[in-house]
Structure 1
Amino acid sequence: MSTARLRQHVADILSLADIEINGPDPWDLQIHNPAFYKRVLQQGTLGLGESYMEGWWDCQQLDEFFYRALRADLYKRARLSWRGKLDVLLARISNRQTKQKAVENIHRHYDIGNRLYQRMLDRRMTYTCGYWKEATSLDQAQEDKMDLICRKIGLQPGQRVLDIGCGWGSFAKFAAERYGAEVVGITISHEQLALGRQLCEGLPIELRFQDYRDIHEPFDHIVSIGMAEAVGHRNMRTYMQVAARCLHNEGFFLLHTIGHPFSKTAPDPFIDTYIFPNCLIPSLKQLSRAMEHLFIVEDLHNFGPHYDPTLMAWHRNFTSHWQELKQEYDERFYRMWTYYLLSSAGSFRARNNQLWQLVLSKKGVLGGYTSIR
């Protein structure tokens, strides 16, 4: 097929989302390399992302491009490359989040340099969705989110909390300082652990390098904030079983996770290759099946639209500090990270991705649980 016909085919697809090739609007694609058309038609989302990283095309407002493309369901027209098809098959027949593989997966995203995250995130270094109900800044949105979690589990002074996937200890530090809790946080990122221990020094907090499958101690409450996406569908039942065995009968397990409206067994090829290796956004079906006979769902809160302003704030911080960060990262990384942040913002804006907080109990709250927003 000629380049002209390939271009027209891509243009016809994009027109369904009111996107033009070399058009005047900020969400239109500006194509610099005509090989783009064949590549994106053959390789789908992987080809789209890689060609952006390589400078084959630009877009003034990537977030708006992805919002329009996803809202118009253009992803349904994307083709999987041979590698993408292989990844789907392997994900169905193998466990890509074993203990050893999990460490490798986390290392490739979270151990690429604490300075990047220090410049990009809020002052507490919280790498999950903020809560913008009343907040006007990223710092406040993240503190409001952590306070919301503490209130949802009814956290009291002296209670012992397990934080599965604690990151740099932002929730642990907040819960200890504001609520007088004792917190055990676990991570399998060496970089997170080293800095997190410094940030939490002097507080009743223990941060460990430990896989969630190796936890056997009792806790008053358990939280897992932005960790379930790294568990994988083959391990979700084990993840829930660990939480159930470690949680006191009267305690709560608060699960905060990105969610997808339908079940998948393999991630997006671009995200899998460059951003979050072997991570998988769960569906409610996958979560509910994993918690059968273990937990009662007391509350489900979807505030997915709050991830859009969170990601846009991260992108502003990232770009405003790029002159400093470029000493450690190259232009290809800049385009990759920009693509990741803005495509994610567009996805949440289009409601293609969700953000759920589930409050779970082991036996059910007698008389019912009062939802907190």
Structure 2
Amino acid sequence: MKSISLAPPSGSQYEQKLKSLLDKSGVNINGTASFDVQVHNPAFFHKVLAEGSVGLGESYMNGWWDCKQLDELFAKLLASGLDKAARLDWGTQLIGLEAKLTNLQNINFAGKNAAHHYNLGNELFAKMLDKRMTYTCGYWKNAKTLDEAQEAKLDLTCKKLYLEPGMHILDIGCGWGSLSKFIAENYDVKVTAINVSDEQLALARERCKGLPINLIKQDYRNVEGEYDRIVSLGMFEHVGLKNYRTYFEVVHRCLKNGGLSLLHTIGGNISDKHSDPWISKYIFPNCLIPSLAQIAKATEEFFVIEDLHNFGPDYDKTLMEWHKNFNLNWQELKSAYDEKFFRMWNYYLLSCAGSFRSRHTQLWQLVFSKNSTVIYQALR
């Protein structure tokens, strides 16, 4: 009987396998295009094939490869459907299984998940973001600068909520308080804003001092009271599939009859049960990008979906501005971080920009009404 060799493929075979996977995307290994991958360590090929997304990101963080335009590289890879064609690595399969069996965003994990990212240091975000420190997608329709785009987004959000004097607004996951501050400064209303990040809340309290804003460290599941409007910008990605229904139960319970709620969230074209493994490991632990189907199912019997607005391409531009600011200010930040963090953060910002550019990822604002008899006049 002929023996069967169980020896792994040689290094050159790993390289050929990866090259064949990249063919459809137009990306070459050690090519001359700005989006081509320049390999410095041949261990790169095995790590990527064996570990998928995590292997690709970690090998970049380790300096095993470079690319002049990471954003374009990811736009090409995702536009070609390479994420579907590539073999699902064991790490991703295990994450998917864990997501099915475990609530990774339960109330005990929520604070730890948030701290991993949002407690990295307020100075980092102050140097990277706009003057209001708005860590969500800007609205670039008539804007020329990041500051203008973020103010336009906050203004658009308020107009969709039809705020009136005397209202009480709930801001779920308020970040550094940019939206709450904008609302309080421009409308005769009071705001309750909740967050689970200590560092964000500390700075938010400084920035919102003297305004009718009550900033509370609180998980959304513990919210009490009734509100005329409920809004959440860029927090739903941390809620998790097992908690989508719970989130909307809370909003339904706390929103007055006839009230409106606005949800601003990154969205996916398919209904996933787990996030990208590298993003989950290094950037946003246990995050999940929802699909429209998942959101709609979670809101059944609670709300009328009055308006859906997709301005996903604006996130590409927003991320590129954040990337520019981060690199311009790196000399002032580098004493607090190392070179590996520098590479990781650039990889995060540029890979996400490429994802939005390829239309693999979306940005939605949805407006919901509760028991409203008034026809909602959506902004066009």
TM over 0.5: yes
Structure 2: state its 5+ residue gaps: 1-8
> Secondary structure of 1:258's partner?
strand
Question: Could you tell me which of 88, 91, 96 is aligned with 1:88?
Answer: 96
> CA offset at residue 257 of structure 1?
0.4
Q: What does residue 215 of structure 1 align with?
A: 223
Correspondence 1:184-333 to 2 at 5 A: 184-333=192-341
Q: What does residue 364 of structure 2 align with?
A: 356
Question: Could you tell me which of 78, 89, 100 is aligned with 2:86?
Answer: 78
Question: Could you tell me which of 168, 193, 196 is aligned with 1:160?
Answer: 168
Structure 1 residues 89 and 188, CA gap change in structure 2 (3 angstroms)? same
Q: Partner amino acid for 2:75? A: Y
Q: What does residue 133 of structure 2 align with?
A: 125
> CA offset at residue 67 of structure 1?
0.3
1:135 aligns with 2:131: no
Q: What does residue 371 of structure 1 align with?
A: 378
Q: Return the alpha-carbon distance in structure 1 between the equivalents of residues 340 and 189 of structure 2.
A: 43
Q: Return the alpha-carbon distance in structure 1 between the equivalents of residues 74 and 188 of structure 2.
A: 43
Correspondence 1:41-80 to 2 at 5 A: 41-80=49-88
Q: Return the alpha-carbon distance in structure 1 between the equivalents of residues 22 and 187 of structure 2.
A: 51
1:178 aligns with 2:186: yes
Given that 1:42 and 1:79 are in contact with CA atoms closer than 8 Å, whether structure 2 keeps it comes out as no
Q: Return the alpha-carbon distance in structure 2 between the equivalents of residues 178 and 161 of structure 1.
A: 13
Q: Return the alpha-carbon distance in structure 1 between the equivalents of residues 319 and 356 of structure 2.
A: 9
Q: What does residue 158 of structure 2 align with?
A: 150
> CA offset at residue 315 of structure 1?
0.3
> CA offset at residue 365 of structure 1?
4.2
Given that 1:110 and 1:189 are in contact with CA atoms closer than 8 Å, whether structure 2 keeps it comes out as yes
Given that 1:27 and 1:60 are in contact with CA atoms closer than 8 Å, whether structure 2 keeps it comes out as yes
Correspondence 1:90-129 to 2 at 5 A: 90-129=98-137
Structure 1: state its 5+ residue gaps: none
> CA offset at residue 85 of structure 1?
1.8
Q: Return the alpha-carbon distance in structure 2 between the equivalents of residues 137 and 15 of structure 1.
A: 37
Q: Return the alpha-carbon distance in structure 2 between the equivalents of residues 125 and 272 of structure 1.
A: 23
Given that 1:45 and 1:78 are in contact with CA atoms closer than 8 Å, whether structure 2 keeps it comes out as no
> CA offset at residue 157 of structure 1?
2.5
Q: Partner amino acid for 2:164? A: Q
Q: Partner amino acid for 1:240? A: F
> CA offset at residue 78 of structure 1?
2.9
Q: Return the alpha-carbon distance in structure 1 between the equivalents of residues 372 and 62 of structure 2.
A: 53
Runs (4+) off by over 4 Å:
none
Q: Partner amino acid for 1:237? A: R
Q: Return the alpha-carbon distance in structure 1 between the equivalents of residues 48 and 333 of structure 2.
A: 30
Q: What does residue 338 of structure 1 align with?
A: 346
> Secondary structure of 2:214's partner?
strand
> Secondary structure of 1:267's partner?
coil
> Secondary structure of 1:299's partner?
strand
> Secondary structure of 2:305's partner?
strand
Q: Return the alpha-carbon distance in structure 2 between the equivalents of residues 312 and 15 of structure 1.
A: 27
> CA offset at residue 79 of structure 1?
3.2
> Secondary structure of 1:310's partner?
helix
- % same residue: 55
Using structure 1 for the length normalisation, give the TM-score.
0.98
Between Structure 1 and Structure 2, whose CA radius of gyration is higher?
Answer: 2
Q: Return the alpha-carbon distance in structure 2 between the equivalents of residues 309 and 159 of structure 1.
A: 34
Given that 2:305 and 2:367 are in contact with CA atoms closer than 8 Å, whether structure 1 keeps it comes out as yes
Q: Return the alpha-carbon distance in structure 2 between the equivalents of residues 45 and 127 of structure 1.
A: 24
Deviations 1:282-340 (A, max 9, x none): 11111111111001000000111110000000000000000111000000000000000
Q: Return the alpha-carbon distance in structure 2 between the equivalents of residues 133 and 18 of structure 1.
A: 31
